[in-house]
Amino acid sequence: MRSSGVVWPDGQRVAVCLTWDVDGESALYSRQAERSRNQLGELHQRSYGPEVGVWKILSLLEKYELPATFYVPGYIADRYVSVVREIVERKYPVGLHGYLHESMDTLTREQEEDVIVRAKRSLSNLLGREPILYRAPSWELNRWTPDLLIKHGIISDSSLMDDEVPYALETDSGHLIEIPIQWILDDAEYWLHTRANRDKPISDPDTTLKIWEREFKGYYEHSGCYVLTLHPFISGRWVYMQTIEALIRYIRKFPRVWWTTVEEVTRYSESLLKVGQLRVKKPVPPEPTVQRR
Ligand SMILES: [Zn+2]
């Protein structure tokens, strides 16, 4: 098996990033506009995230003195100013996540750029600086997205699934540091439950915990970067908060864990790139191409 090639700082064996995407009700407006007009219920289920879930999450992070990273759509930053301000005051990095959680693969390059500019404006006001982190809504990137991100000052994306460690994605405009993610480390895949998907049963939290623990063990043994993607409107509920707390306790039993943020991992990856110790990848070509590796 190919070794990860990443040596973590201070002899740590694994990097752990807890990340929360504070989507709130944004995605419903952009993806199911008709439905959102008529269904107050689903909008309110989603507003539970910024209204209630975030505050439980901040308490949990405080209890264990853990770093974390938040991704916030511009609309949520505009609407829930005090929530985002609190996250910023607690020194958690905040990254871009669309304006209304748009499906980027349905937009033209110009439209996507407009969304990035608008979202940046909303977040910059609260951060007091321009955001440098990005996660694509639903992890959907267009072929031109990495270029656009670099053009707008973004240095890090966390949306692709081709690795378990950070790497540099080569673009015409320079390198974008990629911090990979995965569906199995995303709470929505197990616990997102709406009227529209009621035929899909809610996953047993203990089974999810077992999956996350086993996956962690693999990352630990192979020096990976374990990125958990969570949503306050989903896992802000008590049963799921207890599951996440159980995972935290499990990980804390391992001796050499770098609890960190996507921003810190990005900076560290940049330093590795400078000395030629970070893998550089090109985007997968749009047509089949034989490329010996
Ligand atoms: Zn999202």
> CATH for 9-281?
3.20.20.370
Residue with tokens 């999810």: 208
CB atoms within 10 A of CB 289: 7
Distance CA 266, CA 263 (A): 5
In the reported structure, the alpha carbon of residue 277 is separated from the centroid of ligand 1 by a whole-number distance in angstroms of: 31
In the reported structure, the alpha carbon of residue 188 is separated from the centroid of ligand 1 by a whole-number distance in angstroms of: 10
In the reported structure, the alpha carbon of residue 162 is separated from the centroid of ligand 1 by a whole-number distance in angstroms of: 19
Q: Which residues contact 190 (CB under 8 A, 6 or more apart)?
A: 202, 203, 205, 208
Q: Kindly compute the dihedral angle of the four CA atoms of residues 100, 102, 107, 112, in this order, to the nearest 10 degrees.
A: 60
In the reported structure, the alpha carbon of residue 10 is separated from the centroid of ligand 1 by a whole-number distance in angstroms of: 33
Domain boundaries, the chain: 9-281
Q: For 199-215, write each residue's pLDDT tens digit.
A: 888 999 999 999 999 99
pLDDT at 217: 98
Residues of the chain with pLDDT under 70: 1-5, 291, 293
In the reported structure, the alpha carbon of residue 47 is separated from the centroid of ligand 1 by a whole-number distance in angstroms of: 13
Enter the tokens of residue 124.
């910059």
Write the CA distances from 189 to 29, 64, 229, integer angstroms: 21, 26, 10
In the reported structure, the alpha carbon of residue 98 is separated from the centroid of ligand 1 by a whole-number distance in angstroms of: 8
In the reported structure, the alpha carbon of residue 122 is separated from the centroid of ligand 1 by a whole-number distance in angstroms of: 16
Enter the tokens of residue 51.
């209204």
In the reported structure, the alpha carbon of residue 48 is separated from the centroid of ligand 1 by a whole-number distance in angstroms of: 15
In the reported structure, the alpha carbon of residue 97 is separated from the centroid of ligand 1 by a whole-number distance in angstroms of: 7
In the reported structure, the alpha carbon of residue 267 is separated from the centroid of ligand 1 by a whole-number distance in angstroms of: 23
In the reported structure, the alpha carbon of residue 189 is separated from the centroid of ligand 1 by a whole-number distance in angstroms of: 12
Distance CA 206, CA 243 (A): 7
Q: For 74-124, write each residue's pLDDT tens digit.
A: 999 999 999 999 999 999 999 999 999 999 999 999 999 999 999 999 999
In the reported structure, the alpha carbon of residue 220 is separated from the centroid of ligand 1 by a whole-number distance in angstroms of: 26
Distance CA 245, CA 239 (A): 10
Q: Kindly compute the dihedral angle of the four CA atoms of residues 85, 86, 89, 92, in this order, to the nearest 10 degrees.
A: -100
SS3 217: helix
Predicted TM-score of the model (pTM): 0.96
pLDDT at 67: 98
In the reported structure, the alpha carbon of residue 138 is separated from the centroid of ligand 1 by a whole-number distance in angstroms of: 6
In the reported structure, the alpha carbon of residue 54 is separated from the centroid of ligand 1 by a whole-number distance in angstroms of: 14
Sign of CA pseudo-dihedral 154, 23, 137, 18 = positive
Residue with tokens 């944004």: 26
In the reported structure, the alpha carbon of residue 132 is separated from the centroid of ligand 1 by a whole-number distance in angstroms of: 17
Distance CA 167, CA 150 (A): 15
